[in-house]
Amino acid sequence: MAVVVRENLPENDGVLLDLLRQGDGMTVAELSLAMDVTGTAVRQRLARLQAAELIEREAIRAKRGRPSHRYVLTEKGRRQTGANFADLALALWQEIGAIRDPEIRRGLLKRISGRMAEMYEGQIDGETASERMESVARLFRERSVPFSVHGSQDLPVLTALACPYPELAEQDRTICAMERMLFSEVLGEPLRLSQCRLDGESCCTFELKRD
């Protein structure tokens, strides 16, 4: 299961995104006034956020003269702003852990991992397991969670260099099983968790499960 994580943006970029979140878009002049910075500084931040596809520019038609522009959040930007669901995720996970029947709990975890895999499906490409692992690693890196792939083409290893959801893992290591289920669904191959940070390892690694 993946928790939505706000990208590691400079603090002032986050402030700008929060301003855009509150209305129907703002011009450079409006942002400059609201943030008490120069128009040049605003444009630099806007350029970064446009490159990250978090905002886009819209033309404002004027009755006379040249049209002006305002900046609005993209769909990706709307997902990123205010996307701190850590408390909610922790509460939901604790409720899942409170289910006493192991079969019911296991079935719920499988359904959740399957739903998450469906959400990621359109973002994962590649014909081989190695190529799809690279795609998974790229997807998580875009969310500021470092992943890498090493090993051979036939036996690739997906490595999580940092935990995507450390607070959940500290509470209940069942989250590791959920992660394994998710990656197995996305890759279309059964995986095993060969190393885990909770066991004192430096990282978590997932390998293809061969009979």
Q: Can you give the pLDDT of all 211 residues of the chain as single tens digits? A: 333 334 556 767 888 988 888 777 899 999 999 999 999 999 999 999 999 889 999 988 777 767 789 999 888 887 666 555 667 777 888 888 889 998 998 899 999 999 999 988 888 999 999 999 999 999 888 877 889 999 888 889 999 988 887 777 877 888 888 899 999 999 999 999 999 988 888 889 999 987 6
Q: Is residue 18 part of a domain?
A: yes
Residue 15 CB-density burial (10 A; 0-12 exposed, 13-18 middle, 19+ buried): middle
Q: Global pTM?
A: 0.60
Q: Per the structure block, which two tokens stand in for 132?
A: 């799809």
What is the structure's pLDDT at 84? 56
* Residue where a domain stops, chosen among 26, 46, 80: 80
What is the structure's pLDDT at 81? 61
Looking at residue 203, what DSSP letter applies?
S
What is the structure's pLDDT at 3? 37
Alpha-carbon gap, residue 124 to 135, rounded angstroms? 5
Output the CA–CA distances (angstroms, integers) from residue 148 to 77, 140, 141, 142, 201, in the order listed.
Answer: 26, 10, 9, 12, 16
Is residue 103 located within the same domain as residue 74?
Answer: no
* Residue where a domain stops, chosen among 52, 80, 108: 80
Q: Per the structure block, which two tokens stand in for 4?
A: 């939505």
Is residue 67 located within the same domain as residue 103?
Answer: no
Chain centroid to Cα 169, Å, comes to 17
* Residue 108: HSE in the Cβ half-sphere, 13 Å Cα cutoff: 15
What is the structure's pLDDT at 170? 78
Is residue 108 located within the same domain as residue 63?
Answer: no
Phi, psi of 175 (to 5 degrees): -60, -30
